[in-house]
Amino acid sequence: MSVLMPVIVGAGPAGIRAAQALVAQGLRPIILDEAARAGGQIYRQPPQGFQRPKSALYGFEHRKADAVHRAMADVMPQVDYRPGSLVWNVEGKTLDVLHDGISTAVPYTHLILATGATDRVLPFPGWLTPGVYTLGGSQVALKFQGCAIGSRVVFMGTGPLLYLVAYQYAKAGADVAAVLDTASFADHMAGLPGLLRAPALLAKGLYYMAWLRAHGVPLRRGVRPVAVQGDERVTAFTYRQGNRTHTVPCDALAYGLALRSETQLASLVGCEFAFSTRDRNWIPRRDAAGRTSVPGVYVAGDGAAIGGADAAELAGERAALALLEDTGHAHDARRAHQLQTRLAANDRVRATLERAFPFPQDWAASIADDTVLCRCEEVTAGTVRQAVRETDAQELNRVKALTRVGMGRCQGRMCGAAAAEVLAQACGLTPADVGRLRNQPPVKPVPVRVVCVERQDKPMPAPQGQP
């Protein structure tokens, strides 16, 4: 029997539960994560020696955080955990992994991608002003370093994270100037009947809103951004609510429109993708267990589809059971069925959340022509629209070639969703119609030196027809 070399990318809830299931059957997976400590986004741990208690860091979720951290500690002797390791490429059955400035090749036979998600953002005037952060980024600053992004902060966008992060900032002592939700009251009400099936989730959301209101934080709904004020640094934020515009003085703005799966590695490894109307994103095609179209490659957690932390734990374990089954190991079929049932129930709640916090579909049309869309290459929304007018291009990779949108250091991680929205709107199509950006390595920025050394070290492929 050939040697099994399972690798898990991501030590968040999904990756940790996957590792636990593999270890239970005697496997010793490699776990790669670019973060310094395990836990992923929601259960991100501060650097060693920081003193904030778990109850302050994770609030209502502190017991779950503790359970996930303990699970990781328990499996540590049986896994090869490599923190601070960025997987920047995958080619064939080998991962390119950057650690401490050196890239090494990590071979695998089976791969579980548990890479999580990132914020979805759309541009608006002033979004590149110092002091503007993504919602997730503002939370990372607080959770990891105990820092606030400003002393008077506005939170804008939509999704459960909006109220949670505003609450966390206020609890930590920051002055929250306003919480501005792009969803309307009617949207929230539309999601309410479904959310009654998830009373704990609903209660938490209502609690955050009530707490913020009780502490004098203005909560506004049905908002659209107008502009950030200030050149050197944010000084205020102007927004529109109905027919009226309002300006809130602040020195920082955190914003985001829910989350987007991190799928670049799945793309590089050759997985087929399908458009998810619910996530408004292209995600890897997978079966209920997390098997992708590439044999031996599995996806789990938010990197497979946005499902939240509880679902990520279930999906991680489920993907590991699939791997065990596929490699002839003992696996618990009843447990697998149970996990799938719970994941399906979670999916129904997710659909309801999307109704309560819908993506603002009119935003893309309102982005002014001179607003920068792709910050790496400084491509404006107008440039993309002009390409559509002049060439009739309707496909995202074609527009990338014509305008360089998504061609810079971030490889479209930041601007890809916005470019798709602007392109779709300009063509009168949907984001599903315009396709998805083809991913290229490195999936995240790495020093040029690393890529050059790495390429030199790799044996050149033999010319065709020669051994």
Ligand X SMILES: Cc1cc2nc3c(=O)[nH]c(=O)nc-3n(C[C@H](O)[C@H](O)[C@H](O)COP(=O)(O)OP(=O)(O)OC[C@H]3O[C@@H](n4cnc5c(N)ncnc54)[C@H](O)[C@@H]3O)c2cc1C
Q: Tell me the closest approach of the beta carbon of residue 342 to ligand X, in angstroms.
A: 15
Stretch that binds ligand X, among 13-21, 48-56, 319-327, 342-350 (CB under 6 A): 13-21
Cα–Cα nearest to 224, from 359, 321, 360: 360
* Interface size with ligand X, residues (CB under 6 A): 36
106: its two tokens: 């990590």
Q: Tell me the closest approach of the beta carbon of residue 219 to ligand X, in angstroms.
A: 19
Q: Tell me the closest approach of the beta carbon of residue 402 to ligand X, in angstroms.
A: 28
Can you tell me which of 72, 111, 114, 148 binds ligand X, judged by CB under 6 A? Answer: 114
- The answer to whether 380 contacts ligand X (rule: CB under 6 A) is no
- The answer to whether 10 contacts ligand X (rule: CB under 6 A) is yes
Pairing between β-strand 379-380 and β-strand 30-32 as defined by DSSP bridges? unpaired
DSSP type of residue 443: S
- The answer to whether 312 contacts ligand X (rule: CB under 6 A) is yes
Q: Which string of b and e fits 201-224 if b means at least 16 CB within 10 Å? A: bbebbeebbeebeeeebebebbbb
- Whether the Cβ atoms of residue 21 and residue 317 lie closer than 8 Å to each other: yes
Binding mask 237-276 for ligand X (x = CB under 6 A): ----------------------x--x--x-----------
- Ordered strands of the 244-249 beta sheet: 223-229, 236-241, 244-249
- Whether the Cβ atoms of residue 318 and residue 291 lie closer than 8 Å to each other: no
- The answer to whether 451 contacts ligand X (rule: CB under 6 A) is no
What is the rounded distance in angstroms from the CA atom of residue 27 to the CA atom of residue 9? Answer: 16
Closer to ligand X by Cβ: residue 168 or 383: 168
Q: What's the Cα-to-Cα distance from 394 to each of 267, 383, 414, rounded to whole Å?
A: 21, 14, 20
Closer to ligand X by Cβ: residue 140 or 450: 140
- The answer to whether 40 contacts ligand X (rule: CB under 6 A) is yes
Closer to ligand X by Cβ: residue 115 or 380: 115
Binding mask 134-173 for ligand X (x = CB under 6 A): --x--xx--------------------x--x---------
Q: What's the Cα-to-Cα distance from 19 to each of 80, 214, 304, 325, 327, rounded to whole Å?
A: 10, 43, 17, 15, 15
Rule CB under 6 A: which residues touch ligand X? 9-15, 32-35, 40-42, 86-87, 114-118, 136, 139-140, 161, 164, 259, 262, 265, 301-303, 308-309, 312, 443
